[in-house]
Structure 1
Amino acid sequence: MAIKISLLSSLLLLCFNHALLFSSVASVENRKSYIVYMGGRPEGDERSAASRHLSLLQDSIGSTFPPDYLLYNYKRSFDGFVAYLSEDEAQIISGLPDVVSVFPDEALELETTGSWDFLGFPEDVQRNSLESDIIVGIIDSGIWPESQSFIDTGYGPPPSKWKGSCQVTADDPNFACNKDTNGHGTHVASTAAGGLVRDVSFQGFARGTARGGVPSARIASYKVCWRDGCWPSDILAAFDDAIADGVDIISVSISSSALNYFGDSISIGSFGAMQNGILTSTSAGNTGPNAGTTRKFAPWFLSVAASTTNRKFITKGISINTIELGNNQYPLIYAGDAPNLAAGFTGSTSRTCSEPNSLDANLVRGRIVLCDWSRISGVVPRLAGAVGMVIANDTWLDNPSSYQLPASHVNAENGRRIFQYILSSGGPNVLTPDILKPDISAPGVTILAAGAGSTFPYILNSGTSMAAPHATAIAAYVKTFHPTWSPAAIRSALMSTATPMSSGTNRDAEFAYGAGNLNPLGALTPGLVYDAEANDYVSFLCGQGLDTHTLRLITRDDSACTEANNGTVWDLNYPSFAVSTPSREIPSRVLRRVVTNVGSADSTYRALITAPPNLSIHVHPETLSFTSLGQKLEFTVVVGGILERSVSSGALVWDDGVHKVRSPIVAYYAAWVANNAQDGGASTI
């Protein structure tokens, strides 16, 4: 149910008030709300959806099924509904031939302007006039329209392609349903497409100009998050409307509980968006840093991890320090994520920084260590090579101690904030291990952007929530210059031009940061792209075991899973390469790819391989010669070798002397995911 709000020429606002309709926490006659996904948009009149869905419920469960237990009807971009069901009724519905999946509607969590300059994307960067026609759909906690970042002076009417509407409620026309009480959606929206606002700061910190990546673009805000969480049923409704409304890019900074590709609202919604030529940019999540913690693993959207910038704020805790760190900057690591496995320690022990030799020197050296204990001297981190220590504990706060290295003692609450600062959900993809996730990194730490309300109109936030709108903005920026590019081509442009990052500062390598850090200007001229259309994902899904009947429900066409259309994951035309192995020996794996020339008509690219000694990587052919724009050429990558550590990384670069089209190549020990999760330890802060 969309509640209409007033129209601003730069802001297009819709809201989905789950709280007004129902609450999944409460039960009704031992029922709770379930989402029933029935595939792509059906043929026929949208108005018949409600009666058709009710008939399905009454025919399968019983004619006495109450009509008011049917809560939502999806009908614009895909087919499905939300209803109050018992567990047994949900099981019955899931077995019906016209149903793809049934899953509970359970609350999810939300996952922040110097970052653009840090990325080499200055205020006076080249712009295309088409930018004002780009509509960025933000699915989040709403927006605070009164923010200076959303002033619409100089904007004309919405683009003619906009098919949506902005609404007011009958009882309160003053943006009542859209007020963003926690500021999250406002922060995300202004980071992506907020206007230029001079001389802003957060209580004097980070003073400068606040701006979004595409400040002339339009923002369509879809409110799906409330005080009790973000509901999958509302998220699906927002996708359903956003696709039909005519948005160009969708940004979602909300957590996911995905266990399969069509048992999750973001995965379902983004698949429908992809079918309609719309890229979805989504946060990788904040549940890391252990391996396999991201639930954003569908290959048809862009998954964004959070990276730091050159901005740092210092808050002093309690300690007596006679040693100083100076003005240098050092990376942080949580002690529970750095156990000395070779000595038999796990994260549950290493987190305290108290047991001799419990920290892995290879991970701790040159870093500041966050420890979960109060009465420690710092000798264990010092001997492991740490340059500093932060102690997070409420005990002994009033009794400062001296330490054997620079240290600060903070309370548990501030410790939690520091821990959140460190976190970003990591790959690999636990559902399809040979697809690398996350895809890319973007600034997500201490980001200044608009807030909700006049007390703190601009605030600092951190997390992958803040990283996703950076990638969203550059995807929109690329689309202004290349409006016909597919979602996959735009994603490829962002990934293949990303700035490489060093595995020396993160043991999880590409599983922490994907292809590298966002490179806005490079993404505009990638040279080659790894393109993919809906049919490529169809072949991938067939290879994942989907049957023809279910496939046709999803695609709403005559697609079929046949022997010829049963693609392996290694054939999906993805801009990165991943190979999992059940043992230290990597079986020779052949991965096929196709690149499309979007650079110079006559160009020759040569393959440049970087790999550690234990990793064997060969490319066939080693040279690609193009004679026209849009031309496609195929090649294979053969990966083999012996793993000397859990993760080994290499890269393939196609180089024509002008463009360097880079793809990470990662081989890893499959059991590492389970071991890492077990040995990483559980944080108590």
Structure 2
Amino acid sequence: MAMKGLIWLISSLLFAAFLSVNSHASDDSVRKVHVVYMGDRPKGDFSAATTHHSMLTAVLGSASSAKKSLIYSYGSFNGFAAKLTDEEVERFSEMDGVVRVIPNNILKLHTTRSWDFIGFNQSHVGAQHEGDVIIGLLDTGIWPEHESFNSQGLAAPPSKWKGTCQGDNFTCNNKIIGGRYYNSENMYFEGDIKSPRDSEGHGTHTSSTAAGDRVAGASYYGLANGTARGGVPGARIAMYKVCWSYGCGTADILAAFDDAIADGVDIISVSLGFDLPLPYDVDPIAIGAFHAMKYGILTSSSAGNSGPFPYTVSNYAPWTLTVAASTTDRKFVAKAVLGNGQDFTGLSINSFELNGRTYPLVWGGDAANYSAGANPDLSKYCITGSLNSYKVEGKIVYCETLWDGTGVLLANGAGTIMADDEITDFAFNYPLPATQISTSDGEKILDYIRSTENPVATILLGEIWTDYMAPYVVSFSSRGPNPVSPDILKPDLTAPGVDILAAWSPVAPPSVDGEDQRSVDYNIISGTSMSCPHASGAAAYVKAAHPDWSPAAIKSALMTTATVLDPKKHQDLEFAYGSGQINPTQAIMPGLVYDANETDYINFLCKQGYNTTTVRLITGDNSSVCTSTSLGPAWDLNYPSFSLAIVDGQPIYGIFTRTVTNVGSPNSTYYAFSSTQPGFTITVEPQVLSFSALGEKKSFTVEVTGPTISQQPITSGSIIWEESGFQYMVRSPVVVYNVITNVYSPYNSKSQKKPTFQRPSTYGKNRILGRN
């Protein structure tokens, strides 16, 4: 593997050098790769591939030239990559509807491209007090011997640590300072390990993303070769294993929260959640996170992988940090090459090298396993058990949907080419040579099979392409609005969660096939489970810089300094990305923070329809009392963002009260600026806030007004407090949208049916294994 990785790296460097030399060519006929970006994907019945091909044909002069030029047709938004001359670039730039044409710059690859991509490179790690911060993870366990958890150079754990290292076959060090496991059902399946040791891979991956040590030469079978590291390599890790092959128990989650609080963790990272919305008083993560908040611990949680549908966001309690998943600037692709020379680029993290060897190519519909009751209408999808091994053995199989490859693998096939348009913005890794192409390209492959006496094909080793559209929120990331508290904007922000390489358990399957027996030290996977530990690491970085800050202050710092994402790429705007993408380097210097405490959240719950009894179920404190029975919106909770849910047919109206705390310069003055879309108005009063000391607090009101609206999708603006010396800029999004019912009715927990708790979100919208 080392030799293969070296060859791959040398080839990449030579290719980059080749492009660099040729980039200076003055000949206008030299074609170079560019991205033609056209903003939003049109609504309705829209074929991106056909539209892009037509545009290329018009500019290049022929359909054949367009076909040769087109490299990739983006599906989540309107754009494509193609080889163009300088003259063609100019012509596309002048076209109506084209936002910009971007040259194909070659980047140096890092496994932690996600951290570098958000501007948080290695020069920022190793900060003072980083070693005092402890990140507790509720997950599937951790592999303690992994090189990402090397404790070399770390001092003894901080004196506040009260945790333990549990289990006969599990050991701790100065990096992994604690490990516990929970299984209230006493249910174990084959492969489960009765200790904090990880047999699933998920917990090892999230832990190393948040706080893994620097490791050179990390890769997935040579792909994404580089130096791996977590966000805060000097921070400590405590693992609380609550998830097993069957899932994660509510009792176990609450027990883990309880232990983590007592043990002395600073940040809790939870990459799991429910599929259906629950009231706060029966949601174990909301309850556990509330307890953690009372003890000064911020809970960072994944938003869920049920997107792009609305009202699917999970972990929406206002005292938690809810994290969506967005892309970095690289895509994993693999080409399928036919015997007639045609090649098709598809999404895949393909680790198999066929060395250009071709194999017979067969359509799954021509290889039905009639003995098992299958027919061509079923076998064309290559579902496991549907294929006839006599017709598939030693062949590459073309399949008409995305599957996990096991149908072809169990029939002794050599590889699979899958056609599916459902997923266009992230890749899977498979147990055999595989790639996922578009359905239109699939039709061309089927035409080739039917018109050729002996069709053959090969699948090339995976490549990494630069994605110039990044960052954008990936399709599987769950969307708002908040299904329980509509006046609290969720998700809070977004972080890298697509094709993330990080540490892996050597006994866990390295692909979407649960029976894959290969063993790897690093794996590339996607999910809000991967974005959550990025935010957890960023929160730990802020905690190290400001040990005395509250969870709400840390959360506010991350939200108000987030990088604003391009709304043209997201029709659901802040319901996709919240305040924006995390920016840890700015978060330690926010200027102002929106702070909140237990009393603030109790008042919020009382207004949301909870009574003293149900509030106490959340707080665990018999002294918690609802002093008022009046119900209403959450406009006075001191939250870093603003959400206004308007009942259908009512005018836009809301008055929010907020208080900011000065954490920037002792003597400072801030000026308010607001921006809106046509249709509503934002008024801030007062418009100037002057401070004379650190820790000083100032209050203001925000009035949002507008005409009567019905069936209004989300529209948004923002409020920015800018410091007079331009040292600090504190931004908060403001969203307005319609709801069709009275959203302020009390929640009756007795009428809520509790769904089965699911395993951690790993692969996003992965119907391959039924994972969430």
- Name the TM-score, length of structure 2 as normaliser: 0.60
* Alignment partner, residue 664 of structure 2: 599
- 1:604 and 1:323 map into 2 onto residues whose CA distance is 60
Equivalent residues in 2 for 1:531-610, closer than 5 Å: 531-552=595-616, 554-563=619-628, 568-583=633-648, 585-610=650-675
* Alignment partner, residue 476 of structure 2: 423
Q: Percent identity?
A: 49
- 1:176 and 1:291 map into 2 onto residues whose CA distance is 39
* Alignment partner, residue 464 of structure 1: 528
Residue type at the aligned position of 1:533: N
- 1:637 and 1:410 map into 2 onto residues whose CA distance is 61
C-alpha displacement at 1:125, in angstroms?
1.2
Change (3 A) 1:310 1:275: same
C-alpha displacement at 1:586, in angstroms?
3.5
Equivalent residues in 2 for 1:216-295, closer than 5 Å: 216-256=234-274, 257-295=276-314
* 2:737 corresponds to 1:668: yes
3-state SS, counterpart of residue 588 of structure 1:
strand
Equivalent residues in 2 for 1:61-100, closer than 5 Å: none
* 2:270 corresponds to 1:203: no
| Offset from partner CA, 1:525-564 (integer Å, 9 cap, x none) | 0000000000000100111122224434535253321239
3-state SS, counterpart of residue 638 of structure 1:
strand
3-state SS, counterpart of residue 650 of structure 1:
strand
* Alignment partner, residue 355 of structure 1: none
* Alignment partner, residue 9 of structure 2: none
Q: Indicate conservation of the 8 Å contact 1:308/1:445, yes or no.
A: yes
C-alpha displacement at 1:237, in angstroms?
1.2
* 2:230 corresponds to 1:182: no
C-alpha displacement at 1:178, in angstroms?
2.6
C-alpha displacement at 1:506, in angstroms?
1.2
C-alpha displacement at 1:122, in angstroms?
1.1
- 1:436 and 1:164 map into 2 onto residues whose CA distance is 35
C-alpha displacement at 1:421, in angstroms?
6.2
Q: Indicate conservation of the 8 Å contact 1:506/1:512, yes or no.
A: yes
Change (3 A) 1:173 1:477: closer
Residue type at the aligned position of 2:199: T
Change (3 A) 1:541 1:606: same
Change (3 A) 1:684 1:564: closer
C-alpha displacement at 1:645, in angstroms?
4.7
* Alignment partner, residue 131 of structure 1: 130
3-state SS, counterpart of residue 257 of structure 2:
helix
- 1:460 and 1:620 map into 2 onto residues whose CA distance is 49
C-alpha displacement at 1:615, in angstroms?
1.8
Residue type at the aligned position of 1:167: Q
Give the structure with higher Rg (CA): 2
Mean CA deviation greater in 557-566 or 595-604: 557-566
3-state SS, counterpart of residue 334 of structure 2:
coil
Question: Of the candidates 715, 739, 745, which is equivalent to residue 648 of structure 1?
Answer: 715
C-alpha displacement at 1:292, in angstroms?
0.3
Residue type at the aligned position of 1:653: I
Mean CA deviation greater in 638-647 or 306-315: 638-647
Residue type at the aligned position of 1:132: G
Question: Of the candidates 477, 480, 487, which is equivalent to residue 551 of structure 2?
Answer: 487
| Offset from partner CA, 1:292-327 (integer Å, 9 cap, x none) | 01121100000000000112111235789989999x
Change (3 A) 1:608 1:173: closer
Residue type at the aligned position of 2:557: A
3-state SS, counterpart of residue 274 of structure 1:
helix
- 2:674 and 2:341 map into 1 onto residues whose CA distance is 48
Q: Indicate conservation of the 8 Å contact 1:616/1:639, yes or no.
A: yes
Q: Indicate conservation of the 8 Å contact 1:222/1:238, yes or no.
A: yes
- 2:136 and 2:767 map into 1 onto residues whose CA distance is 37
Change (3 A) 1:608 1:410: farther
Residue type at the aligned position of 1:204: G
- 1:426 and 1:243 map into 2 onto residues whose CA distance is 30
* Alignment partner, residue 122 of structure 1: 121
Change (3 A) 1:524 1:564: farther
- 1:503 and 1:559 map into 2 onto residues whose CA distance is 41
C-alpha displacement at 1:597, in angstroms?
0.6
* Alignment partner, residue 345 of structure 1: none
C-alpha displacement at 1:203, in angstroms?
1.1
Change (3 A) 1:376 1:264: closer
3-state SS, counterpart of residue 315 of structure 1:
strand
Q: Indicate conservation of the 8 Å contact 1:371/1:392, yes or no.
A: no
* Alignment partner, residue 611 of structure 1: 676
- 1:628 and 1:267 map into 2 onto residues whose CA distance is 35
Change (3 A) 1:568 1:196: same
Q: Indicate conservation of the 8 Å contact 1:421/1:462, yes or no.
A: no
Change (3 A) 1:126 1:567: farther
* Alignment partner, residue 103 of structure 1: none
Change (3 A) 1:564 1:186: same
- 2:583 and 2:230 map into 1 onto residues whose CA distance is 15
Mean CA deviation greater in 664-673 or 500-509: 664-673
- 1:242 and 1:165 map into 2 onto residues whose CA distance is 10
Equivalent residues in 2 for 1:339-354, closer than 5 Å: none
Change (3 A) 1:671 1:508: farther
* Alignment partner, residue 517 of structure 1: 581
Question: Of the candidates 715, 727, 741, which is equivalent to residue 658 of structure 1?
Answer: 727
* Alignment partner, residue 571 of structure 2: 507
Q: Indicate conservation of the 8 Å contact 1:206/1:448, yes or no.
A: yes
* Alignment partner, residue 193 of structure 1: 211
Equivalent residues in 2 for 1:316-327, closer than 5 Å: 316-317=335-336
* Alignment partner, residue 156 of structure 2: 157
Q: Indicate conservation of the 8 Å contact 2:138/2:253, yes or no.
A: yes
Aligned pairs, how many?
502
C-alpha displacement at 1:260, in angstroms?
0.4
* Alignment partner, residue 439 of structure 2: 391
3-state SS, counterpart of residue 227 of structure 2:
strand
Mean CA deviation greater in 656-665 or 640-649: 640-649
* Alignment partner, residue 679 of structure 1: none
- 2:129 and 2:632 map into 1 onto residues whose CA distance is 37
- 2:315 and 2:660 map into 1 onto residues whose CA distance is 25
Change (3 A) 1:176 1:546: closer
C-alpha displacement at 1:570, in angstroms?
0.5
Q: Indicate conservation of the 8 Å contact 1:495/1:575, yes or no.
A: yes
3-state SS, counterpart of residue 476 of structure 1:
helix
C-alpha displacement at 1:509, in angstroms?
0.6
3-state SS, counterpart of residue 532 of structure 2:
helix
RMSD: 3.7
* 2:545 corresponds to 1:477: no
Q: Indicate conservation of the 8 Å contact 1:428/1:673, yes or no.
A: no
Q: Indicate conservation of the 8 Å contact 2:170/2:196, yes or no.
A: no
- 2:266 and 2:171 map into 1 onto residues whose CA distance is 28
